[in-house]
């Protein structure tokens, strides 16, 4: 396992090398997940591309860090990690909140992004009311109380079978995220709005 101290937060990451002339792809994962979600993608790309995976603050094995935190804080963490790894001009692939982080990174450090892959994300995700309701539910009853709702968004009914061990594993991953980190990320998503900034993306 690889760890780095970035902006006073311990960040868990993994770097998979490739020939020097190959592009670097950086994966920023979704709310309530860690970088293991990219495994099946990584095994198809390893060797063809250099790959950087990481757990954003408050997720996986990374520290929660100072609260509250913003999407800009997440982007600063990622920029710090890429600087540490001497990565520039990378393809930034962001899923959900990772897509918000990718957009913020592009605004702050365009030298780090030769391209953006924005997956299941937007310039603004959801409403203040929807995020406040989720925050309240988790504060009252824990992450386990929202698992079914979240999994309905992630997976088809055919996948969400109790006998499907992969489905059970994804449920475990969600419920085992640090509650403080999950709530902080929910609030960061709620408060992020890249509606105007998205108009300036040229990569």
CATH numbers and ranges of domains, the chain: 2-200 (3.40.50.1820)
Buried b / exposed e along 9-32 (16+ C-beta atoms within 10 A): bebbbbeeebeeeeebbbbbbbbb
DSSP state of 124: S
On the question of pLDDT at 115 being above 90, the answer is yes
- Across residues 46-65, what is the average pLDDT? 96
pLDDT level of residue 52 (50, 70, 90 thresholds): very high
SS3 32: coil
Contact (Cβ atoms closer than 8 angstroms) between residue 185 and residue 77: no
Q: What is the mean pLDDT of the chain?
A: 96
On the question of pLDDT at 19 being above 90, the answer is no
On the question of pLDDT at 20 being above 90, the answer is no
- Across residues 194-201, what is the average pLDDT? 96
On the question of pLDDT at 21 being above 90, the answer is no
On the question of pLDDT at 119 being above 90, the answer is yes
For residue 176, what pLDDT is reported?
Answer: 96
For residue 18, what pLDDT is reported?
Answer: 83
């Amino acid at each position: 396992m690889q760890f780095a101290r970035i902006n006073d937060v311990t960040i868990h990451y993994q770097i998979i090398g490739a020939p020097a002339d190959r592009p670097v792809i950086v994966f920023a994962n979704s709310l309530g997940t860690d970088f293991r979600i990219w495994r099946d993608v990584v095994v198809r790309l390893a060797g063809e591309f250099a790959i950087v995976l990481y757990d954003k603050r408050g997720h996986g094995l990374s520290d929660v860090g100072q609260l509250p935190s913003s999407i800009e804080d997440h982007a600063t963490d990622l920029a710090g990690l890429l600087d540490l790894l001497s990565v520039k001009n990378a393809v930034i692939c962001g899923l959900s909140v990772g897509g918000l982080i990718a957009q913020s990174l592009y605004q702050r450090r365009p030298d780090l992004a030769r391209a953006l892959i924005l997956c299941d994300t937007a310039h603004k995700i959801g409403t203040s009311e929807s995020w406040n309701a989720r925050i309240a539910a988790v504060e009252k009853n824990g992450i386990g109380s929202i698992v079914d709702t979240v999994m309905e968004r992630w997976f088809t009914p055919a996948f969400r079978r109790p006998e499907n061990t992969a489905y059970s594993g994804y449920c475990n991953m969600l419920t085992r995220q640090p509650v403080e980190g999950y709530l902080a990320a929910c609030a960061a998503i709620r408060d992020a709005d890249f509606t105007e900034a998205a108009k300036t993306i040229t990569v």
